[in-house]
Structure 1
Amino acid sequence: MVEKTTEDDQHQQASAGEKHKTEAETPDPKRTKVESETSADQGKENDKENDKREESNTHQTKNKEPEESKSEVKSENGTTGRAKADKGKDAPASILEKGIIYFFIRGRVDVDKPEEVDDIARSFIILRPIGHDAKLSKPPLADAGNTRILVLPKKVLPSSGRDRFLAFVDKTGASYDEIKGQFLAGADYETKTKGTRHTPAATPVGEGVYAITSTGRESHLAYMLTIPQELGEVQKDLGLKEQGSFIISTKNPEYPAPASARLPQAPEYPKKMHEEFHEYRWIPTRPHHLDYANTQILMIGESSGIKKALGVEDDGGKQANKEEPLEEMEELEEQDLKRMQQLSGDDSASIYADLKAHAEDYPKLQTTF
């Protein structure tokens, strides 16, 4: 069901940097198909189909997701991950990008403290990439001006394969000053009919570490929460976990989105990036896709948590170096915990200090409705 946009909502989006009026719904499965886990029978069928395609030297149909080539894909910070097509088998998980992740919510107009999910206007994911070999030692992180803000119109996170929610990139290359001035802060405005209205400030609900990984045919966004150390009611209702993961795919802007999830402007991709899509509607997300405003990302929940994203499924020991991505994430989480503990104050103060903002100017981390 499409959420109606009121005058207040329109002003709220404009004043708080939320430029798009869209309530994302699950794409029509007849028109969009994102590959998930396949059975052995499906894998065999895919083998036959691939052989036929090779013989005829033709492309896959537009509605099928492409298999990855053997070429390396580089993220903005120079990290690499090799994605191999192996006739239906997943490649060893590789980390394409890692960094700090923040989860925020913003209440509806005049609702400073939401009392239920329906009181939330939007939820957000903030990604702050770090170098592949970077260590989280001295807080706070230096401002690299490479922070991204993703909007979740559905407000909650997908929790299983049945949940397929569209998100979009609202801002890229953001500095801490831009985050404070254009995202965190609330605002007051005047209306002709209701007088002064208030757009609430963004409220933190979690902080941790993340990794964008590739398992060959799929990309994943995996995270481990550092704050809060114990999940509250808000975190659980939003679908946040101590450790979680999503399959993520990037939408080809050449194909129209569902009417309820259509953005007013398409992402301005360079020619080289348009070529990545070939004729496919969806391709596995790569970090550089998130460097363009209005990029639409399909997020599919993974009920198994981070296991697949970090390549730790029970495969009888056949997968070489399968513990490396998990160990790297666990080490990053431990570094982040020590780093955040060095920042003064409670959880809220630590998050704002990490973003170089004054905690007293913004709402405290919310754990209860």
Structure 2
Amino acid sequence: MADQKADSEIHQDQKATAGDKHKTEAENPDAKRTKVEEEEEALPSERNGDGKEKEGDASQDVKEEPADSKPDIKFENNTTEPEKEDTDVPSSILEKGIIYFFIRGRVDVEKAEQVDDIARTFIILRPIAHDAKLSEGPLRDAGNTRILILPKKVLPSSGRERFLSFVEKSGASYDEVKGQFLAGEEYETKTKGTRHTPAATPIGEGVYAITTTGRESHLVYLLTLPQKLGEVQEALNLKEQGSFIISTKNPEYPAPASVRLPKGPVYPKKIHEEFRDLRWIPSRPHHLDYDNTQILLIGESSGIKKALTPQREDENANKEGPLEFMEELEEEDLKRMKDMPGDSSASIYADLKAHAEDYPKLQTTF
């Protein structure tokens, strides 16, 4: 396992900009599931010898990605133009949506009896438009679902814990989520014969937001399911309310061998220029629209308060605070999930257009 010591903290002095609302549909959804055996536990230096931050040249020559590799951006009104910004949304909210947490057992382990039985933990993000309300029933398939892998299995719970994750699949349809992610599979090996990879098991569902506090970006979530956390959630550091500082890795810098992906993200020139010559920058929603984007999650022991700090301009305009905004979103989701038929598992799978009887139930105990 990589055990490198950091020379300094992640660069977080970049000014935040409001994220565009968008939905993504991938034209070539045939990427294989990649595996990372270990995660990066320390950050490389972003400072010169004099302790000052290195300032990159945004005009550096970066090769433009091929046009056919760019995601096809679709918006809520099914046009290629962005919707009018909802001025009532707190300016710190870059994106909102529904979040799901899943685990997958090791090969031939159908049900995890302890953390060591888990091969991977997954986060599924389903963005929704800024001005959208959560109505009754399952979410429609917008083809913009993202699947993130957490090789560490557990979520970081304090600033001392920094775990690397990556986007396994972006712009996924529900059919892709079911076929390439939820389902288990069997395969043949020369030495051990038939092996079985178990289906993914849900451990939680809720609402999320990607926020900016000016110097940092955060992924904050409020769980709606399960209604009472069990030992599985506690063992994986999943809370009723939680948040992480999130930073995106510059693919121009090599990662340690133990956490290096076979293939990096294919970013357009615009995103390359955001990095300048920095190794890490505060994450933005559009970073997650590219397969193999590497995201560092840093735990926040203070809970969601910092991630939902009101912006001064919003307070001056008497706007609703980001905490109240998230609580209203949580109430909408609670009502929506409560009104859906079946138990918690059925509600989660209905959202993903899958039949609950074909997959494991929501797990709260080992």
Report the TM-score when normalising by structure 2: 0.79
Change (3 A) 1:320 1:304: farther
Is 1:24 matched with 2:39? yes
Change (3 A) 1:129 1:341: same
Please tell me the root mean square deviation across aligned C-alpha atoms, in Å. Answer: 2.7
Contact 1:76 1:287 in 2 (8 A): no
Is 1:274 matched with 2:272? yes
Tell me how many residue pairs correspond in the alignment: 310
Shift of 1:343: 1.4
Is 1:151 matched with 2:144? no
C-alpha distance after superposition, 1:95-134 (max 9, x if no partner): 0000000000000000010011111000000000000000
Is 1:122 matched with 2:120? yes
Q: Identify the residue that residue 223 of structure 2 maps to in structure 1.
A: 225
Change (3 A) 1:93 1:164: farther
**Larger mean Cα displacement after TM superposition, 177-186 or 251-260:** 251-260
Which aligned pairs between 1:226-305 and structure 2 lie closer than 5 A?
226-305=224-303
Q: Identify the residue that residue 18 of structure 2 maps to in structure 1.
A: none
Shift of 1:260: 1.4
The CA distance in 1 between the partners of 2:150 and 2:285, in whole Å, is: 18
Is 1:138 matched with 2:136? yes
Which aligned pairs between 1:7-46 and structure 2 lie closer than 5 A?
18-27=33-42, 29-31=43-45
Which aligned pairs between 1:1-369 and structure 2 lie closer than 5 A?
1=1, 18-27=33-42, 29-31=43-45, 60-61=53-54, 94-311=92-309, 324-369=321-366
Structure 2: gaps spanning 5 or more residues:
3-29, 57-72, 76-81
- Of Structure 1 and Structure 2, which has the larger fraction of its residues in helix? 1
Shift of 1:165: 0.5
Contact 1:122 1:153 in 2 (8 A): yes
C-alpha distance after superposition, 1:124-182 (max 9, x if no partner): 00000000000001211110000000000000100000000000000001001110111
The CA distance in 2 between the partners of 1:17 and 1:256, in whole Å, is: 22
Structure 1: gaps spanning 5 or more residues:
3-14, 34-45, 50-59, 64-74, 83-91
**What amino acid is the match of 1:159?**
S
Shift of 1:76: 7.9
The CA distance in 1 between the partners of 2:319 and 2:159, in whole Å, is: 23
Contact 1:267 1:292 in 2 (8 A): yes
Shift of 1:21: 3.3
Shift of 1:268: 0.2
Change (3 A) 1:319 1:235: farther
Change (3 A) 1:349 1:244: same
The CA distance in 2 between the partners of 1:282 and 1:98, in whole Å, is: 23
Contact 1:16 1:199 in 2 (8 A): no
Moved over 4 A (4+): 75-82, 317-323
The CA distance in 2 between the partners of 1:322 and 1:219, in whole Å, is: 20
**What amino acid is the match of 2:54?**
T
Change (3 A) 1:344 1:252: same
**What amino acid is the match of 2:266?**
E
Q: Identify the residue that residue 68 of structure 1 maps to in structure 2.
A: none
C-alpha distance after superposition, 1:312-361 (max 9, x if no partner): 69x9x988758521111101000001111121111111100111100000
Local SS of the residue matching 1:338: helix
Local SS of the residue matching 1:264: coil
C-alpha distance after superposition, 1:170-204 (max 9, x if no partner): 00010011101110000111212212111000000
Change (3 A) 1:203 1:336: same
Report the TM-score when normalising by structure 1: 0.78
The CA distance in 1 between the partners of 2:316 and 2:181, in whole Å, is: 43
Contact 1:81 1:95 in 2 (8 A): no
